[in-house]
């Protein structure tokens, strides 16, 4: 067995989209991921399903792993021939102790690469609307550790030189020492009225900013209970925040939204949430797949061979369209053989999926449930007609039952199966317990059922109690009923059963909560 290789990767300040392309490639090719709390947890979803994930940050039942032990862990994994990604928050060379890790790897003859990341020293102020340089205010900046005790700070920082060496001063990990830092800067020449900003958990849903001056910032920190981790910005550039703050103006800013859709479909909803300033957190609890049962396959093949016999083809989901055409291809059935059939679709997305395949639906109800489709079809259906219903194995029986009651022959085809995804996420239960998930979205009844099952499998005995502090968002009344049957209180429901409708409902709910005087802004990361 040969030696493995270690990638020392900067994950950026927290927003998973701020990872570099090279860093993302390293995550995807590695056999093992060694990560800490400052690395965006969503990035772990980019790892291979079989990759080993080792958390070396702080847990409620365990303190942070010592740096010497982390160094040795990287060596041990590489000695087993594994490709390892050491995922660090920010940039690994900026107070990331990458030198210690690389030095031990070099001693063992293990190949490594250092992949820079976007440092929080620059990115976090930017997300708060503070550029670290400005042509009229600051032409240079310094990055300084603020984590050490005052006596160590005095040994590592030459206050007389640092104070006025550059226009902007950036202290990392210094909230607990803010009083001492301010005192030293004033003592060595910075005016007491110099603007200061503290930005906590920058680029994440919990981002919060506190501004003041060197003279009053310590008092403000104590009065507001402002806690680390945060980047401290000292300098005239802080004044730019009033005009340049941007992400806080987005309607979903401050909300981390759990997306439970299948991984293949999650990106669309996640993208909409991200565009509106929310932080999507993907936890797919369902997956769709082709049926494997020989009897089911035989029924599909037989039904498609009779393509010319159908008067109607009724499609109720995008998945139904996609898998219907997969079976047409697999069975070598030309869609033109359905020449006598009219096509009906439930919902604009289903209709769009049909249009992409060259078929314009003959019937598209204004609302997006089976009941509405039946109302739209009522005057067009005739006893003796034959309808094909390509759908999933968990679809409701309402539509075929009603068609049969009207005298039609309804042929149900389970063209795909919905199964529980084998989602593993050690961080999600902790986030839920800490109130770190602000909204849980459900786009189908199966996402509700599987999500609750996944929580129980992870050791959570009472999922409804755990979710009591989160907003529960459902795409429609059927999904909402399922959520309520599981003991959840639905607080957000789309007026139209589409992703756009769901997102619009979330935006409206967010506005309502921010207007309520009793609403605690800290709960939403404002």
Read off the pLDDT of residues 460-496 as tens digits, 9 standing for 90 and up: 999 999 999 999 999 999 999 999 999 999 999 999 8
- Report the pLDDT averaged over residues 245-262: 95
Q: What per-residue confidence (pLDDT) applies to 38?
A: 66
Q: Which of 44-53, 81-90, 273-282, 374-383 has the lowest mean pLDDT?
A: 374-383
- Report the pLDDT averaged over residues 148-158: 67
Q: What is d(CA 364, CA 375) in angstroms, rounded to the nearest whole number?
A: 11
What are 272's two structure tokens? 């909409």
Q: What is d(CA 451, CA 503) in angstroms, rounded to the nearest whole number?
A: 20
DSSP β-ladder status, 83-88 and 111-115: unpaired
Q: What is d(CA 360, CA 207) in angstroms, rounded to the nearest whole number?
A: 46
Quick: pLDDT tens for 20-78: 999 999 999 999 999 987 666 789 889 998 999 998 876 545 566 888 999 999 999 99
CA angle 231, 233, 236 (to 5 degrees): 165
Residue 200's SS3 state is strand
Q: What is d(CA 212, CA 226) in angstroms, rounded to the nearest whole number?
A: 13
pTM of the entire predicted model: 0.83
pLDDT > 50? residue 312: yes
- Give the Cβ contact number of residue 515 at 10 Å: 8
Q: What is d(CA 319, CA 395) in angstroms, rounded to the nearest whole number?
A: 11
- Give the Cβ contact number of residue 49 at 10 Å: 7
List active site positions: 36, 58, 173
Q: Max Cα separation, the chain?
A: 93
Confidence of residue 519 (pLDDT cuts 50, 70, 90): very low
> Looking at residue 215, what DSSP letter applies?
T
Q: What per-residue confidence (pLDDT) applies to 412?
A: 94
- Give the Cβ contact number of residue 33 at 10 Å: 24
pLDDT > 50? residue 268: yes
Quick: pLDDT tens for 330-385: 999 999 999 999 999 988 889 999 999 999 998 887 665 666 777 778 888 999 99
5-10, strands of its sheet edge to edge: 52-55, 32-35, 83-88, 5-10, 111-115
Which residue bears the tokens 């006025």? 164
Nearest one of 231, 391, 369 to 324, comparing CA atoms: 391
Q: What is d(CA 86, CA 7) in angstroms, rounded to the nearest whole number?
A: 6
Q: What is d(CA 92, CA 112) in angstroms, rounded to the nearest whole number?
A: 13
DSSP run (H or E) holding 247: none
Q: What per-residue confidence (pLDDT) applies to 365?
A: 75
The pLDDT > 70 percentage for the chain reads 93
Q: What is the dihedral of CA 482, 484, 486, 490, to 10 degrees?
A: 100
> Looking at residue 63, what DSSP letter applies?
P
Q: Would you say 257 and 441 are in contact if contact means Cβ atoms under 8 Å apart?
A: yes
Quick: pLDDT tens for 379-427: 889 999 999 999 998 888 888 998 999 999 999 999 999 888 866 777 8
- Give the Cβ contact number of residue 504 at 10 Å: 18
Query: What are phi and psi for residue 465, nearest 5 degrees?
Result: -65, -40
Q: What per-residue confidence (pLDDT) applies to 448?
A: 96
Q: What is d(CA 443, CA 178) in angstroms, rounded to the nearest whole number?
A: 46
Quick: pLDDT tens for 236-253: 999 999 999 999 999 999
Residue 17's SS3 state is helix
Which residue bears the tokens 């950026």? 12
Q: How far are the Cα atoms of 345, 352, 439, 501 from residue 348, in angstroms, in the given order?
A: 8, 6, 25, 12
């Amino acid at each position: 067995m040969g030696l493995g290789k270690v990638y020392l990767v900067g994950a950026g300040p927290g927003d998973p989209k701020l990872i570099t392309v090279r860093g993302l490639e390293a995550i995807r090719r590695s056999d093992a991921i060694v990560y800490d709390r400052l690395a965006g947890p969503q990035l772990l979803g980019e790892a291979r399903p079989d990759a080993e994930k080792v958390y070396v940050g702080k847990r409620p039942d365990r303190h942070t792993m010592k740096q010497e032990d982390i160094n040795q862990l990287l060596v041990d994994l590489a000695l087993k021939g594994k490709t390892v990604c050491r995922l660090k928050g920010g940039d690994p060379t900026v107070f990331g102790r990458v030198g210690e890790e690389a030095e031990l790897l070099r001693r063992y003859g293990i190949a490594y690469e250092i992949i820079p990341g976007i440092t929080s020293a620059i990115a976090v102020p930017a997300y708060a609307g503070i550029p670290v340089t400005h042509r009229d205010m600051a032409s240079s900046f310094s990055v300084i550790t603020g984590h050490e005790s005052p006596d160590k700070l005095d040994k590592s920082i030459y206050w007389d030189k640092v104070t006025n060496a550059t226009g902007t001063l950036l202290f990392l990990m210094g909230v607990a020492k803010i009083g001492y830092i301010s005192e030293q800067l004033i003592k060595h020449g910075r005016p007491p009225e110099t603007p200061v900003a503290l930005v906590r958990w920058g680029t994440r849903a919990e981002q919060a900013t506190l501004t003041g001056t060197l003279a009053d910032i310590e008092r403000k920190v104590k009065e507001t209970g402002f806690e680390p981790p945060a980047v401290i910005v000292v300098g005239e550039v802080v004044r730019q925040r009033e005009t340049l703050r941007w992400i806080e103006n987005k309607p979903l800013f401050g909300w981390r939204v759990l997306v439970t859709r299948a991984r293949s479909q999650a990106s669309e909803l996640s993208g909409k949430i991200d565009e509106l300033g929310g932080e999507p957190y993907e936890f797919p609890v369902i997956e769709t797949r082709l049926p494997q049962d020989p009897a089911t396959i035989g029924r599909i093949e037989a039904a498609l061979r009779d393509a010319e016999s159908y008067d109607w083809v009724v499609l109720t989901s995008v998945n139904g369209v996609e898998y219907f055409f997969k079976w047409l291809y697999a069975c070598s059935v030309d869609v033109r053989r359905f020449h006598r059939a009219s096509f009906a679709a439930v919902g604009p997305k289903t209709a769009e999926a049909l249009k992409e395949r060259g078929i314009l639906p003959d019937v598209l109800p204004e609302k997006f449930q089976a009941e509405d489709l039946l109302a739209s079809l009522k005057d067009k259906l005739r006893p003796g007609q034959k309808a094909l219903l390509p759908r999933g194995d968990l679809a409701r029986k309402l539509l075929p039952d009603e068609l049969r009651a009207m005298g039609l022959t309804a042929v149900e085809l389970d063209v795909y199966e919905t199964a529980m995804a084998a989602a593993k996420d050690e961080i999600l239960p902790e986030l839920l317990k800490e109130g770190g998930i602000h909204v849980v979205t459900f786009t189908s009844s199966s996402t509700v059922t599987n999500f609750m099952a996944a929580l129980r499998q992870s050791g959570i005995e009472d999922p409804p109690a755990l979710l009591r502090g989160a907003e529960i968002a459902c795409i429609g009344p059927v999904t909402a009923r399922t959520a309520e049957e599981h003991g959840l209180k639905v607080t957000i429901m789309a007026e139209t059963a589409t992703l756009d409708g769901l997102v619009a409902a979330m935006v409206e709910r967010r506005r309502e909560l921010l207007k309520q005087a009793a609403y605690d802004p800290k709960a939403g990361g404002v």
